[in-house]
Amino acid sequence: MQNGMSLRQYLVDQKRGGVAIEADLIDLICETAVTCKEITAKIDRAALEGALGAAGSQNVQGEEQKKLDVITNDVMYEHLCTTGLLAGMGSEEVDEPMMIPDQYPRGRYLMFFDPLDGSSNIDVNISVGTIFSIVEAPRGDAAPAPEDFRRKGIEQLAAGFCVYGPSTTLVLTIGNGVAMFTLDHSVGEFILVRDKVQIPEETAEFAINMSNQRFWEEPVKQYIADCIAGETGPLGKRYNMRWVASMVAETFRILTRGGIFLYPMDERVREKGGKLRLMYEANPIGFIIEQAGGAASTGRERILEVEPGSLHQRVPVILGSKKEVEKVEEYHRR
Ligand code: P6P
């Protein structure tokens, strides 16, 4: 493995090295990378083409959709449904699972995606991203049933996200570690820049939206209070804080220098299960974090073991440096 490889060369090299990845899954990952290239181009030109701002609609979560939420969802659906590689798709932006139109062949995989995570940042030019998760379709290339879209995170074959930031960089796992590919605009290829990414087990940097503090459960209130207490507090060290309000940006930072990200249970959304979505946010990001030696928890259980109740199931999310996540889980056991 050497830096400078293209995404497809990396995947073929992984297969040659013994990783059990089918040729059609390699194709699907490469086609998904094409949609990320299309999306980065749309984002670059959004201000020039009047594509910023609200779409005037809401998603299934009742959240205001940005024009780019809808545009990027259409880019992914319209590109991927023609490839003959998917039996269906689930998207944050669409209430029901999306089926493959009759004029196209179906494939053997299902994909869950958030086409533009962090889109509340898009109008203020802060990093956003595309998150995707791939599982095997249980009925092969036959039309999938609704229950086929409720799958545990441990069933994922591949997961990735593309962060549209100072660079456009794709982060990917196929279950054999985590690799990073930066888009070389001059040739239009994602080029390997890091492989076998490892998250430091310890950290002194937490990411949480502090304005929600009064709604958190006691264990999280206590943990954050102890972080802020610094050197003289029970955790015995000074913590730094970051909050970008874009999970892909926080995750990229944690993969690069460690850290812990928390979007914990919040009284306002208890009956919904939490704020972040399991199938196309917590599961793919959790898979990547675990593959990089980190941990991903609800505070009480491993995220990848959560049994989804619906396509748009929400969960509390606590992920990042392994020992720090274990510390927060210990606060929940007290
Ligand atoms: P808040 C973006 O909308 C998102 O789903 C995550 O990417 C991000 O971490 C979180 O919500 C931000 O939430 O409440 O701080 O705006």
In this predicted model, what pLDDT tens digit does every residue of 256-294 receive, in sequence order? 999 999 999 999 999 999 999 999 999 999 999 999 999
Alpha-carbon span 67 to 54, nearest angstrom: 5
Q: Does 245 sit in the ligand 1 pocket, CB within 6 Å?
A: yes
d(CA 136, CA 301): 24
Q: Please give the CATH architecture assigned to the domain spanning 205-333.
A: 3-Layer(aba) Sandwich (3.40)
Tell me the best of 117, 131, 208 to mutate to test the pocket of ligand 1, counting ligand atoms within 8 Å of each CB and taking the most. Answer: 117
* pLDDT on residue 324: 98
What distance in angstroms lies between residue 154's CA and the mean position of ligand 1's atoms? 24
User: Over pLDDT 90: what percentage of the chain?
Assistant: 96
61 lines ligand 1 (CB under 6 A): no
Report which of 89, 88, 94 is spatially closest to residue 61, judged by C-alpha positions: 94
**What are the pLDDT digits (tens) for 5-53?**
999 999 999 999 999 999 999 999 999 999 999 999 999 999 999 999 9
| Domain boundaries of the chain, sorted by first residue | 7-194, 205-333
Q: Is the CB of 93 under 6 A from ligand 1?
A: no
More reliable by pLDDT, 4 or 116: 116
Cβ atoms 321, 201 nearer than 8 A: yes
121: Cβ–Cβ under 8 A, 6 or more apart, which residues?
127, 128, 244, 245, 246
| The predicted structure's pLDDT at residue 63 | 86
CA angle, corner 68, sides to 61 and 127, nearest 5? 90
State the pLDDT at residue 62: 85
Cα 186 to ligand 1 centre (Å): 32
Q: How far is the CA of 196 from the centre of ligand 1 (A)?
A: 27
| Cα 20 to middle of ligand 1, angstroms | 34
CATH architecture of 7-194: 2-Layer Sandwich (3.30)
Spatial separation of the C-alpha atoms in residues 222 and 23, rounded to whole Å: 49
Pairing of strands 109-117, 98-99: unpaired
Atom of ligand 1 minimally distant from the CA of 261: 9
